[in-house]
């Protein structure tokens, strides 16, 4: 209990002191995770809509793959992305291993199946005739998709929250592809692991509190958008 209490006190002190190192780590965490989530939306939403609406051979296998991907272990993603980005790997020439870009790629890979899986569920809960109705009112294919996404906006925002939650809290891939380099790729989770391994539990606890506040703040913002309308 003493450690938790010390951690809380230290966290508050760190937050209010405006420690540039902590601020840098926090901002980098936010920047990497929001970028990864954003990319996962661009990848996961269209794939989810496509799998939800169109029938083709192998569709079920693909949906199962997406659903399995929702539980993709970050450390496995980290390993695969590392192999691809490693100096001798297929994308080694890009020299992005141990950079925030590599971490964003890994986080996008982790979040995309989450977003795609929840998009499939969100679109499939809409009456299948709704799309026909929208087309029957003269919508183009793109307009009909956008109308469906608008209808599914509440569960889709839940997908965004789940995707963001999955990446802001992961540590395996961030360590493997980022390398936890101070001032370059150190984020809240990797810093916590480092402080814990050094035995500085209070510092780790302080970083944990900041991480929780960050997660809460982002989710409050998304929830406010999601729950704009009062229940009738």
Partner 1 sequence: MNGAMITLENVVVVRGKKAVLTVDRLDLRKSETLAVIGPNGSGKSTLLLAMALLLHPARGTITFDGQTVPDSGAPLDLRRRVAVVFQTPLLADTTVQKNVAMGLKFRRMSRDEAVARANKWMERLGVHLLRDRQARTLSGGEAQRVSLARALAIEPDVLLLDEPLASLDAPTRAELLEDLERILRESSITAVFVTHDRNEALALGERIAVLIGGNICQIGTPDEVFNTPANEEVASFVGVETMVPGVVESQFEGLSVVRTSGVDVQVVGDYRPGDQVMVLLRPEDVVLSLREGPPPSSSMRNNLPGVITKLSTAGSQYKVVVDCGFPLVSLITKQSRLDMELAPGTPVRASFKASAAHVIRRTERPQGSGCAPPPEEQQSAAKLH
214-225 CB burial, b ≥16 within 10 A, e <16: bbeebbeeeeee
We find the least distance from the C-beta atom of residue 133 to partner 1, in angstroms, to be 4
We find the least distance from the C-beta atom of residue 21 to partner 1, in angstroms, to be 46
Answer yes or no: are the C-beta atoms of 180 and 190 closer than 8 Å: yes
Burial class of residue 110, CB neighbours in 10 A (0-12, 13-18, 19+): buried
Between CA 35 and CA 50 the distance in angstroms is 23
The count of C-alpha atoms lying within 13 angstroms of the C-alpha of 95, restricted to the half-sphere facing its C-beta, is: 0
C-beta closer to partner 1: residue 22 or 134:
134
We find the least distance from the C-beta atom of residue 123 to partner 1, in angstroms, to be 14
C-beta closer to partner 1: residue 87 or 150:
150
C-beta closer to partner 1: residue 53 or 193:
53
We find the least distance from the C-beta atom of residue 118 to partner 1, in angstroms, to be 18
Written as six digits, the tokens of 61 are 């296998």
Which stretches of the chain bind partner 1, using CB under 8 A?
127, 129-130, 132-140, 143, 147, 150-151, 229, 232
C-beta closer to partner 1: residue 149 or 215:
149
We find the least distance from the C-beta atom of residue 76 to partner 1, in angstroms, to be 39
C-beta closer to partner 1: residue 31 or 124:
124
For 78-99, give the secondary structure using H, E and C: HHHHHHHHCCCCCCHHHCCCCC
Written as six digits, the tokens of 205 are 């606890």
């Amino acid at each position: 209990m003493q450690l938790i209490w010390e951690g809380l006190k230290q966290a508050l002190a760190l937050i209010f002191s405006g420690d540039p190192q902590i601020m840098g780590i926090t901002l980098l965490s936010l920047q990497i995770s929001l970028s990864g989530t954003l990319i996962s939306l661009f990848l996961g939403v269209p794939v989810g809509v496509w799998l939800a609406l169109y029938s083709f051979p192998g569709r079920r296998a693909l949906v199962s793959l997406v659903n399995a991907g929702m539980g993709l272990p970050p450390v496995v993603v980290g390993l695969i992305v590392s192999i691809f980005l490693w100096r001798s790997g297929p994308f080694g020439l890009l020299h992005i291993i141990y950079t925030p870009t590599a971490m964003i790629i890994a986080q996008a890979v982790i979040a995309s199946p989450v977003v795609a899986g929840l998009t499939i569920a969100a679109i499939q809960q809409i009456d299948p005739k709704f799309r026909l109705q929208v087309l029957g009112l003269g919508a183009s294919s793109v307009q009909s998709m956008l109308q469906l996404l608008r209808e599914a906006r509440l569960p889709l925002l839940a997908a965004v929250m789940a995707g963001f939650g999955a990446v802001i809290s992961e540590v395996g891939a961030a360590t493997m592809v980022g390398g936890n380099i101070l001032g370059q790729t150190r984020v809240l989770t990797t810093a916590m692991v480092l402080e814990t391994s050094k035995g500085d539990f209070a510092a780790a606890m302080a970083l944990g509190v900041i991480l929780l506040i960050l997660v809460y703040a982002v989710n409050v913002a998304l929830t406010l958008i999601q729950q704009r309308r009062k229940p009738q």
